Amino acid sequence: MIGALFSLGKFIVGHENLDDLDVFLDTAKLISKTKRILIINLEENDGKLKYNSVVEQQLSKHDTKKFLYKGGPPRGTDFAPSSLITKVQSTFERRILEWFKKHKDPIFLDKVAKALEGNEEQIILDLDEKFNSIDKKDRDNVLLSISIQEGLENKFVGDYPIFKEILLEESVKRYHYLESIGESAGEGTCYLCDKETVVYGFVPNAFGFSFSTADKKGNVPNLIQTDHWKQVPICENCAVYLEAGKKFVQQYLSFNLFALKYYVIPNFLFKGDQEEFEKFYRVVEDAYKEKIDKLKKYEDGLLLEEDEEDDYTLYSIVKNMDDILEFKFLFYDLKGGGKFLDILNYTESILPSWMKSIYEAQEIVRKDILFKEENLKLNFGSKVDGDFIGLRRSKTKKNYINRNNWYAGFLRDFFSSKTNKNFLDIIGSIVGGKKINKDFLILHFMNKIRNAHRNDLENDYEMKSLTTEALMLYMFLNELNLLKGVDKMKIGSHNEEDNEKDFFEVYGEFIDTPDKKAAFLMGLITKKLTNIQYKSLGSAPFMTKLWGLSLDQKKIQKLYPMVINKLREYKAAYPNLEELISINILKSNGNWKLSRDETSFYFVLGFTLNGIFKSKKEGD
């Protein structure tokens, strides 16, 4: 991964003609989040500095270098006297004044400090007044900095070499010095450029990667922490390239999948191919510009929330890429107040073509006739408008589910935060093209469906919704051929004429054995019974007879006469369907291969999909 970041960063530095200062500054963070700036203006007179006023103005993306913003640790100071405001007084005291206490210089810095400290009370009052005058929606991430009026010229932090020198010095210092350990540097061969030079030991630590930390003696050679430079020796130039690569990834290739954060790091298959680097750069930049334009339209009220389906995603990048590169996925969590990356999962060698397959599989399943408006109305009511993804968005707070990420949103429903590792592992397997145990999935499908059934016996909406999600996930993984122990099947159809066909004619490969058919059809006829009860009684008491949806062969066999007898009480009969069930129960006798969870799964599928497809054999 370090090699991929290095190659990317080296290209970025050359392509954008960046110097070290450009690389170190947190310019992208300012451009994306900060709209307003408060400037403490000092005035020079006869070699002395005095406080003048606080100026509030809009932050232009062309002026960001004037302020030298580079964020520091949460409880420390930033790398220059420019800081994002949390609370006005504490930011001024702890980030600005404290910076000048740490950095002494009698010719210039001490004079600035004296002017600030001598007028602290008035400055805080003026800052409060200006800050409160800013529109509330723009008060997050307001930048605080200083300027000095020298005659007719107003100079900012970035106009003074001393501030630049300190920022550069302290930025590089992170590569070889930790206060808790000391200095880690020596003469050696750089791991990245292979040059004999001065190399540093804390470069990966400077990026916050917790898999390469020197904080524990057990992670370093001979248990000597200052010898960490011998383990991953990196020179200053290459460290800057890494910094540039990481910042590009953070700005353009950082994504969030239902609270799961991850970076996508490109690794080019043909090293040094400048043309391919440039093509990738253009694709990413164009996709990101579309995102920024869209965000502005949202803010201006020109786009609705539903339009987010086409927002900036990994798909908007890979859809225009050939397999000239591969991706490394780094799933992480932030620790230590955002200082460290806790790497949760790392998946590599992912080709753009595979990523396209993931998005295309979602489209294939989403467009299946089962999940279109006409058929959804039969199960979820006449008010349904659109496909199941639209229905799912409208009925829950998770309206960020869209056509490009629904598989992950549905998985999140079955693998809650308490089992976050399972969710992470499955996402990692899908991204990495690794097979997933079918029984493990169905177990979790049924656990959640059973819970919904227990919690609301009268209203089966949640159960039907979860069952539909489970079916879509099963079809999605089948389309990608990722179900372990199951050969890829043909499941589903986009042909509207298939709406009139027998269910098993369209979905026969999915429900292809007598035990599957028996369980499925029992679910179907049970739903017919509960529908009759709802119409007659306003409730469906038979729902309590389903053993909490924990069904096996014996219970399916017991359930059959119970349903038939209850139907007769309501003077209802489905002779062809009843015959088909009895035939499949007999055929499966002695050859029932479904587990308890699989039996229950096929049953709830029949219960959920009742009435969508006509059955030539049913005749009703």
CA distance 188 to 195: 8
pLDDT of residue 619: 42
Count H helices, E strands: the chain? 24, 15
Residue spans of the domains in the chain: they are 2-23+171-350, 27-165, 354-609
- The DSSP H or E segment spanning 84 is strand 83-84
CA distances from 282 to 182, 266, 286, 556 (A): 42, 14, 6, 59
Residues sharing a CB contact under 8 Å with residue 504, sequence separation 6 or more, in sequence order? 511, 517, 615
CB atoms within 10 A of CB 44: 17
Which pTM value belongs to this model? 0.86
pLDDT of residue 243: 93
Residues sharing a CB contact under 8 Å with residue 252, sequence separation 6 or more, in sequence order? 284, 285, 288
Among candidate residues 450, 249, 220, the one with its CA nearest the CA of residue 341: 249
Among candidate residues 478, 486, 476, 450, the one with its CA nearest the CA of residue 604: 450
Write b or e for each residue in 137-170: b if 16 or more Cβ atoms lie within 10 A of its Cβ, otherwise e: eeeebbbbbbbbbeeeeeebbbbbeebbebbeeb
**For residue 402, what is the DSSP state?**
-
* Ranges of the chain whose pLDDT falls below 50: 303-311, 615-620
Take residue 514 and report the two structure tokens written for it.
């007598």
Per-residue pLDDT reduced to its tens digit, 572-620: 999 999 999 999 999 999 899 999 999 999 999 999 988 675 544 444 4
Take residue 78 and report the two structure tokens written for it.
């930033």
pLDDT of residue 620: 41
